[in-house]
Structure 1
Amino acid sequence: MEILIKSCRIVDETKDFVGDIYIKDGRIVDYGEGLNYNCKIISAEKLVAMPAFIDMHVHFREPGYTYKEDIYTGSMAALKGGYTLVNLMANTSPICSNMEVVQYVLNRSRELDLVDIHQVVSVTKDFDGKTLDHLNTIDKRVKFISDDGKGVQSNLTMYKAMIKAKNMDLTIISHAEDEEIVSVDTRLSENIMTLRDIYLSKITGGRLHLAHVSTKESIKEIRKAKKEGGNITCEATPHHIALYNNDYRVNPPIR
């Protein structure tokens, strides 16, 4: 079977252009601008084609919660979706606060040899919200730290974590949720913590990635910070984009 995909944005490590992709028997045979083949044509205007994707925020639930997901099933799902590198959150059991858990995950990944896996370590030890000493024991294989699922509530702890992350060349993935006010206003809860973390990143120089952003106010502040040169990135989830809040319950809520 032959397919010619026309007028898509083609992006790889060396190129970024609008062009065509010719596929024969399930393999990419040719790509470039202005291709002409006598075969089925698919128009792909305003779509993007890339060799593979990276998912910054996944939960494979291993160790501890494999009745939900595990490294094998998660890796297979990633492959099916075109993802070849995934970043695993630390809310496992035990919580990933040490290199023993990191090593376990990396060993399982190596055994399966399906996708590249990075394991996140918790910002605070066992998500206790205050202890940072465990970060002194992690090595260069760890690139990200996060208390995803809870968020760091203490301003002082997050300030110290930002400084430590900068000195160790780590990026903090922030679950921006003020637990004190969330029962009153979930939107305000996210906005307050987003602003706090942006400001702490600005004054410390630490790299910040804001997870599952779900409010327009947060997006506005992130864009403003990036324009001002902030070392900040963010993500949105498929369910926040596609679903309705009266159908599903997640955290942060679907707006």
Structure 2
Amino acid sequence: MAVLGAVAFMAQLDFFVVNVALDGIGRSFPGVSVASVSWVLSAYAIVFAAVLVPAGRIADHWGRRKVLLSGVGAFTLTSAVAAAAPSLGVLLAARAVQAVGAAMIVPSSLGLLYPSFPKRQHTLVVGLWAGVGAVAASAGPPLGGLLVTLDWRWIFLINVPIGIATLIAGALLLPEVRQPKGAALPGPVSALAPPPPWLCSCSPRASPSSCSAPPCSCRRSGTSAHCTQGSPSPRRPWPRSPSR
């Protein structure tokens, strides 16, 4: 729990800790506009939101621990790059890749909670994990203010020792969890959103030739979405309309 909580805290803290550092960042790069500096926040938020759901889907298939540790590695490395950034462009690029690492960390850390603890403790550990996000939100501005008094680069440097420690601890302590072999990887549409209910049920909107009873494997020709839930069951006859 300590390892999963630490990486989730680190990833979510960077949403809030940078807010108070924008003035210092702007002074370090003379000639850049306030709008350009604001992308230090916006780039992280946009990329994080775009990658979060696909990263969680991929972690289920590739392995949650593997995705988590890859995300921690990317987050730690880009934190060091951001701290040493010689220009605003380098800083923005580092923040974008850092957001990819954070998006890999958050869903895979939550996904590892369930197999790491007995069922009777699931409510407790998920509550603690969610509380970590609330603590990160409240601790971000004051912690950022303290670090900015030294230098804004410390906001990113502080992630490096935490990331290295959690990489080592995670590799030693966390189990590997993935979906059974043979499960289909998410397609371009289903990777970005949960499959609609009609994709796995027989309804007039689904094609009769591609519909089966849950657990099912359904397709609709109108989109590229593909939904698989377990192994397909035998198809049942499509009810015929009564003749008139």
Q: Smaller-chain TM-score range?
A: under 0.3
Q: Which has the higher contact order (CA 8 A, sep 6+)?
A: 2
- Structure that is richer in helix per residue: 2
**Of the two, which has the highest radius of gyration?**
2
- Structure that is richer in strand per residue: 1
TM-score by length of 2: 0.25
